[in-house]
Structure 1
Amino acid sequence: MRTLYAAMRDRLRCYAGDESEPGGMSHATTRLEGHTIECLAASRAAPKGVFVGTFEDGLYRTRGRATEPSEREFERLETDFVSEAVTALAVSPRDPNVVYAGTEPSRVYRSTDGGDTWTHLEGLTDLPSADEWAFPPRPHTHHVRWLEVDPFDPDRLYVGIEAGAFVLSPDGGKTWRERPEGSRRDNHTLATHGDREGRVYTAAGDGYAVSDDGGDSWRRPQDGLGHTYCWGLAVDPADPDAVIVSSASGARTAHTAERADSYVYRRLDDEPWERLEGRGLPTGEGVVRAVFETTDADGVVYALNNRGLFHSEDFGDSWAAIDTDWEDGLEVQAPRGLVALPN
């Protein structure tokens, strides 16, 4: 049994069941309808539940156990963030009470009590490149697009600024380092791997990159990646060298349904990227970039786009639909996040 939280742009869809059985994963509830959702995060052991960041109304958290979506409600948390635009969230894999939040304009905050209280981690915008950071649709500002906590070192935090820099902190936000050698500038999704110390991945607007030394330096394997505006990213929990990304030729074809033309690529070991087509997951014209989620099970990956929610048990060789009966308006939305929790 599993619970899925699928964040679309204006609502959160909650599912529960067993996707391996026909009809086993049913749509349970819709939450936060009408809000502009930006991000989503949870820990499989989080005592305080699922966190949802919105653009205009701050931060929300589930009441009670997060793995019972049909009964869960969300409460708005009182914070003193720089704005109500919460654009990135992460829960520490070591301690589910430790939660990080990023905002627009770019600030990073940390809670050590599951979201009840927050501390601003100062110094991020004092970095030398901060004057160059800008988000093209709103060029007067920028935001934290992604936060990732290192599974081997809980004080090591990775930050993707949209757009302008990859930033890391080796000491829980006391100090910051920016733009290490080979890093990308427009980082959208960052990931780490619990079986490969030092491994960090990024799907960025200026391409894919991977680090083997905790983000201090990066390499850029691009061979076979025909579309380099990357967004979604998933790594097989059983194999740190098996990676899936969603990508397009640019921002408009990635995010805008009327112009959408996005694809999914997979890289195994050191082989060139392979475009995954005709395997049950919609791609190409009319399909916006997907977001992904994995579980602790080998080869299991979920994908969410404007055509529905899908899952694969062989890391992309084949996909089955969980839900393609979209409510009105979802077919034109770019998804914001996906969380899978065991029941």
Structure 2
Amino acid sequence: MPTGIYVGTDDGLYILGAERRVELPGRRVRALAAGHEGLCAVVGDWEIFTSGATGIWRHVARLREARVTCVHPGPDGILVGTAGARLHRVEDRVVHALEGFDAVDGRAKWHTPSGEPPSVRSIDVDEDGTIYASVYVGGIPRSTDGGLTWQPTVDSDEQVFQVLAVPGNGPLLAATARGLATSWDRAQSWNHRTLGLAGTYCRAVAVCGDTVLLTASPTADGTSPALYRGGLEGVRFDRCDKGLPETLSGTIDTFCLSAAGSTAAFGTSEGAVYVTQDAGRSWELLADDLPPILCVLVRE
């Protein structure tokens, strides 16, 4: 896939680079993920599309039982999270349920504050092949055997919006309602970082080298968001303000912040996209006229 900033919206996929173009017009692109062979997208509530080097989108699966919330493509297929907190794997266009996820300890306590069923908010896989799934609300179950069995890591009452495995010798990061959770021992223990944050509701996290970028809001609904940066091994976060408005409109949800190298971008529910080329030190407005933004992916 070409380099650029891919922005999934309520009305198509926008690619922002030297020029602007739109793919999947008229379709709601809810989540994006990069794999070895190209991109994977959640389109609408039920469908999964992939796009390879040619840039042609192909329909690969449709889940009929539950709304798709996130995807993670890998060599063994596409991991798929859904509402109702279920996991599946798509292999050769066939959908297989990961039944071991339904038996994880503590699952009976999973819930949401609104009373709706819990959901899998994000999936990531570390370099050892361990799978992590963030559940709202249910913590971060993990699997070390390819998804056959699962074990809880953090408390099942933890409100986790996104989990991110930093490559190399990096930590495991999680954007939670209590700030940024960090583990340096593969989820055996965690600490929460909040110093410098004006609010602790963190919905999205990305990494530029040794810099963490984090969204945080003082409210559970994600309004009045701000963007912060700090060191991977640091303690304090500093608010990003150079090139950004004093107050950001709308929300910056999970999947709406992405980074690659020293480049990062985020999008808001109001249709604005901001980009940085220096790991969050300074920002510039890239677009402010897009449909409501649901996901962002930076490709270098």
| TM bucket, shorter chain | 0.7 to 0.9
Cα deviation per residue 1:51-87 (whole Å; 9 max; x = unaligned)? 222463x123145536x4xxx4x4443445532x100
Task: Give the unaligned 5+ runs of structure 1.
Answer: 18-23, 255-259
From 61, 68, 72, give the equivalent of 1:90: 72
Point out 4+ residue stretches in structure 1 off by more than 4 angstroms.
none
Match of 2:14 in 1: 14
Which structure shows the bigger proportion of residues in strand conformation?
2
Q: Which residue of 2 aligns with 1:144?
A: 120
The alpha carbon displacement at 1:261 in A equals 0.9
Check whether the contact 1:102–1:109 (CA below 8 A) recurs between aligned residues.
yes
State the SS of the aligned residue for 2:192. coil
Contact 1:184 1:207 in 2 (8 A): no
Question: In structure 1, what is the equivalent of residue 174 of structure 2?
Answer: 202
What code does the residue aligned with 1:146 have?
S
Residue 101 of structure 1 is aligned with which of 63, 74, 80? Answer: 80
- Distance of aligned partners of 1:214 and 1:40 in 2 relative to their CA distance in 1, 3 Å threshold: same
Aligned: 1:60 with 2:39: no
Structure 1 partner of 2:296? 338
Structure 2 stretches lacking a partner, 5+ long: none
Q: CA RMSD in A?
A: 2.4
Q: For residue 107 of structure 2, give the secondary structure of its aligned residue in structure 1.
A: helix
Q: Equivalent residue for 2:128?
A: 153
Separation in structure 2 between the aligned mates of residue 217 and residue 319 of structure 1, nearest angstrom: 34
Distance in 1 between residues matched to 2:251 and 2:69, nearest whole Å: 19
SS state at 2:71 partner: strand
Letter in 1 for 2:259: T
Matches within 5 A, 1:110-125: 110-113=89-92, 116-125=93-102
Q: Which residue number in structure 2 is paired with residue 266 of structure 1? A: 229
Aligned ranges 1:4-43 → 2 under 5 Å: 4-8=5-9, 10-17=10-17, 24=18, 26-33=19-26, 35=28, 37-43=29-35
TM-score of the two chains, using structure 2 as the length reference? 0.88
Matched residue, 2:159: 186
**Does residue 139 of structure 2 align to residue 165 of structure 1?**
yes
Contact 2:195 2:236 in 1 (8 A): yes
Distance of 1:125 and 1:55 partners within structure 2: 25
Q: 1:337 to 1:175 in 2, by over 3 A?
A: same
Q: For the structure 1 residues 307 and 243, does the alpha-carbon distance in structure 2 shift closer, same or farther, using more than 3 Å as the test?
A: same
> 1:2-35 CA distances to partner (integer Å, 9 max, x unpaired)?
2332122x13332153xxxxxx3x2201525253
Secondary structure, aligned partner of 2:22: strand
What amino acid is the match of 1:188?
F
Distance 1:64 1:196, change over 3 A: closer
Q: Which position in structure 2 is the counterpart of 1:21?
A: none
Distance in 2 (CA, whole Å) between partners of 1:263 and 1:63 is 32
The alignment-based identity, stated in percent, is 21
Aligned length: 295
In the other structure, the counterpart of 1:20 is: none
Structure 1's 81 and 161: CA in aligned 2 closer, same or farther, altered over 3 A?
farther
The CA distance in 2 between the partners of 1:235 and 1:40, in whole Å, is 17
Q: Tell me the distance in 1 between the aligned counterparts of 2:81 and 2:132.
A: 11
| CA deviation vs aligned residue, 1:316-340 (integer Å, no higher than 9, x gap) | 111122222x14xx3xx3x322123
CA distance in 2, matches of 1:173, 1:105: 17
1:218 partnered with 2:190: yes
Q: TM-score, normalised by structure 1?
A: 0.78
Q: Do the aligned residues in 1 keep the contact of 2:110 with 2:157 (CA within 8 Å)?
A: no
